[in-house]
């Protein structure tokens, strides 16, 4: 990570813009998690998993540059995935093997019983006990007997700053904000960082300039505008935005002691989105 004072000062300004308030105003005693949803290809993660036990682990790049195949779904080469604390919503047809497996669980096993949502660590125990694995999830999804929703928890150190650094790909400094050709060849979803938005109305351009005024570095300004803040699909002619990407994470935010502090749609209709979720602490 680049630790120069100037770059860290720029990041503090950028994060405050993205959070809608000063970074230092958020509770440092709370835990902050970065969540990632990608609904473009819901089966890709399961196709890439090497074994069912990976549901219960943190998958990270190794020091020598090796990467578990499942990390191809990430938005940065330095990302890891905390699959054990990621969330999997499984909605099977009645009478299927997945329905029987879920019915065998006590209510306490679920993060959300109504939405049949389980943490990855629970899947790592449940699936092999019923002779099931990632390939069976792919097969059942393809034949229409299982609907799957995935909310991935990206591996971070629990601080708000690390969640924001990871979300914005800013650890390597201004030169690392956008993926280069080699990175794009490894990761499956980097095209969100090549879209620079539609032509803005004068009012929307003025709103952009107002929002980004605290950030001095032009590359960082462009980066946090698109794809994070520029939502042309939700932006009115006067520059205001209707709706909020946070609704995609309401199943997480509805839990006691939990709140979404920021969320961003990185593509049209929210197929790719990120959210920073706070747990515990004394509140903002």
- Tell me the pLDDT tens digit for each residue of 98-125: 999 999 999 999 999 988 999 999 999 9
Burial class (CB in 10 A: 0-12, 13-18, 19+), 223: buried
Give the number of other Cβ atoms within 10 Å of residue 111's Cβ. 18
Query: Residue 98 is encoded by which pair of tokens?
Result: 């997945």
In a domain, 284, yes or no: no
Residue 284 reports pLDDT greater than 50: no
Query: Residue 38 is encoded by which pair of tokens?
Result: 């990608």
In a domain, 49, yes or no: yes
Domains in the chain: how many in total?
Answer: 1
Residue 239 reports pLDDT greater than 60: no
- Give the global pTM: 0.92
The upper half-sphere exposure of residue 97, i.e. CA atoms within 13 Å in the direction of its Cβ, equals: 13
Residue 240 reports pLDDT greater than 80: no
Burial class (CB in 10 A: 0-12, 13-18, 19+), 40: exposed
Region 50-69: mean pLDDT is 93
pLDDT of 123 reads 97
Instruction: Let me know how long the chain is.
Output: 284
Region 256-261: mean pLDDT is 91
pLDDT of 191 reads 81
* Greater pLDDT, 56 or 229: 56
CA distance 224 to 1: 18
Give the number of other Cβ atoms within 10 Å of residue 70's Cβ. 21
pLDDT category, 281, cuts 50, 70, 90?
confident
* Contact by Cβ (8 Å): 173, 2: yes
Region 122-134: mean pLDDT is 97
Would you list the DSSP string of 30-58?
SEEEEEEEE-SSTTHHHHH-S-GGGGGSE
H/E stretch holding 259 reads: strand 258-265
Q: Which domain holds residue 26?
A: 5-279
CA distance 171 to 224: 14
pLDDT of 242 reads 53
In a domain, 264, yes or no: yes
* Greater pLDDT, 189 or 61: 61
CA distance 57 to 261: 26
In a domain, 58, yes or no: yes
């Amino acid at each position: 990570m680049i630790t120069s004072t100037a770059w860290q000062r720029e990041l503090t300004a950028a994060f405050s813009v993205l959070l809608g308030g000063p970074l230092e105003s958020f509770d440092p005693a709370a835990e902050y998690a970065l969540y990632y949803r990608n609904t473009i290809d819901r089966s890709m993660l399961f196709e890439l998993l090497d074994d069912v036990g990976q549901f219960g682990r943190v998958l990270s790049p190794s020091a020598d540059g090796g990467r578990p195949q499942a990390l191809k779904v990430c938005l940065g080469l330095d990302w890891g995935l905390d699959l054990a604390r990621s969330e999997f919503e499984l909605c099977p047809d009645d009478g299927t093997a997945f329905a029987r497996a879920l019915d065998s669980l006590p209510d306490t096993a679920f993060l959300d019983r109504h939405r049949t949502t389980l943490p990855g660590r629970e899947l790592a125990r449940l699936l092999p006990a019923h002779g099931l694995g990632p390939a069976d999830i792919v097969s059942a999804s393809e034949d229409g007997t299982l609907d799957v929703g995935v909310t991935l928890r990206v591996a971070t150190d629990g601080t708000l700053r690390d969640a924001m650094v990871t979300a914005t790909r800013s650890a390597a400094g201004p030169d690392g904000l956008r993926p280069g050709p080699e990175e794009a060849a490894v990761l499956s979803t980097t095209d969100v960082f090549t879209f620079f938005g539609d032509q803005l109305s004068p009012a929307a351009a003025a709103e952009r300039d107002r929002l980004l005024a605290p950030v001095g570095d032009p590359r960082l300004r462009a980066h946090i505008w698109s794809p994070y803040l520029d939502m042309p699909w939700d932006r009115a002619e006067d520059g205001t935005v209707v709706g909020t990407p946070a609704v995609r994470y309401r199943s997480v935010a509805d839990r006691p002691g939990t709140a979404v502090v920021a969320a961003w749609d990185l593509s049209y209709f929210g197929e790719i989105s990120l959210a920073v979720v706070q747990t515990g602490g004394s509140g903002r």
